[in-house]
């Protein structure tokens, strides 16, 4: 399972999202690699799941990944719900 | 804890600002005052706002403007600015913001600790409310000297 988090600069928001996603996946016992990137260098087709905000979701290049839209970065409970639902789809 | 990544002179409370640009500029000035970034970094944050929009409103009420490390970051750190009136940066999902966290991140390893500290400090919603009730910079700094309990 490969997960990508995407934001504008690639050093703040997407890194925070990556940390939260790693925690959630670890807790769920899922073997996953989580990377973060800025929107201009993101390669969503290399990943199974992409987590980003509404605006960047529209800017992503065409891809086959499951895109999770998550705008309240601090809402870890919400992210957990969306991420686990996406995992269920992958299986 | 987050206090190790900021300074008293990088904190300002209840600023009477009226536009998002002013708020980003002020957060940038505070980063310069704290020695975390050069004035060019403020400009880079404004440019990012123009280009990428308001995705940096990371939660209801909380904006974390930032730019790329090479745009003028000197040392990992944050400025903290609270506003008298919430301002609409244009993030439909999270609404207006009145807590502005100017983020200067080097992109090096220690930067991960900084992001972790910010995430930990503001994951608990009451920390935001507590911070917004501060009337002096000193109160803000001492609040950040205690770790928020992990609510996860």
| CA pseudo-torsion sign A44, A47, A52, A58 | positive
A11 contacts chain B (CB < 8 A): yes
How many domains would you assign to chain B? 1
Query: Taking CB atoms and an 8 Å limit, are B66 and A12 in contact across chains?
Result: yes
A22 contacts chain B (CB < 8 A): no
Domains and CATH numbers, chain A: 2-90 (3.40.50.2300)
Active site residue B111: no
| Active-site residue, from B7, B29, B66, B127 | B66
Instruction: Check which CATH number belongs to the domain holding B63 and give it.
Output: 3.40.930.10
CA distance B53 to chain A (A): 8
Q: How many CB atoms lie within 10 A of CB A2?
A: 13
B34: in domain: yes
Specify the pTM. Answer: 0.89
Q: Which tens digit of pLDDT belongs to each residue from A39-77?
A: 989 999 999 999 999 889 998 988 899 999 999 999 999
Q: Tokens at residue B150, please? A: 């992990």
B141: in domain: no
Q: What is the pLDDT along chain B (152 residues), one digit of tens a residue?
A: 899 999 999 999 999 999 999 999 999 999 999 999 999 999 999 999 998 889 899 999 999 999 989 999 999 999 999 999 999 999 999 999 999 999 999 987 778 889 888 888 888 888 899 999 999 999 999 999 876 555 43
Which residues in chain A are contacts of B111 at CB distance < 8 A? Answer: 11, 15
Query: What domain range includes position B45?
Result: 2-135
> With 0-12 CB in 10 A as exposed, 13-18 as middle and 19+ as buried, what is A90?
exposed
CA distance B77 to chain A (A): 12
């Amino acid at each position: 399972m490969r997960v990508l988090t995407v934001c504008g600069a690639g050093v703040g928001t997407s890194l925070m999202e990556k940390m939260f996603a790693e925690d959630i996946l670890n807790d769920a016992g899922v073997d996953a690699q989580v990377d973060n990137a800025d929107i201009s260098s993101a390669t969503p087709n290399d990943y199974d799941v992409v987590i980003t905000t509404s605006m960047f979701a529209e800017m992503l290049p065409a891809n086959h990944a499951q895109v999770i839209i998550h705008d309240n970065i601090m809402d870890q409970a919400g992210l957990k719900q969306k991420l686990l639902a996406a995992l269920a789809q992958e299986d | 804890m987050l206090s190790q990544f900021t300074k008293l002179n990088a904190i300002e409370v209840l600023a009477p600002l009226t536009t998002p640009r002013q708020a980003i500029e002020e957060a940038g000035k505070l980063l310069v005052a704290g020695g975390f970034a050069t004035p060019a970094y403020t400009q880079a944050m404004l440019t990012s706002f123009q280009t990428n929009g308001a995705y940096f409103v990371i939660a209801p009420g909380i904006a974390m403007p930032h730019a790329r490390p090479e745009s003028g970051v000197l040392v990992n750190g944050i400025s903290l600015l609270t506003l008298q009136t919430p301002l609409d940066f244009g993030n439909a999902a999270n609404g207006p913001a009145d807590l502005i966290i100017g983020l200067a991140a080097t992109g090096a390893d220690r930067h991960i600790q900084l992001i972790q500290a910010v995430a930990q400090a503001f994951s608990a919603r009451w920390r935001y409310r507590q911070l917004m009730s501060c009337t002096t910079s000193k109160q803000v700094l001492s609040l950040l000297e205690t770790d928020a309990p992990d609510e996860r």
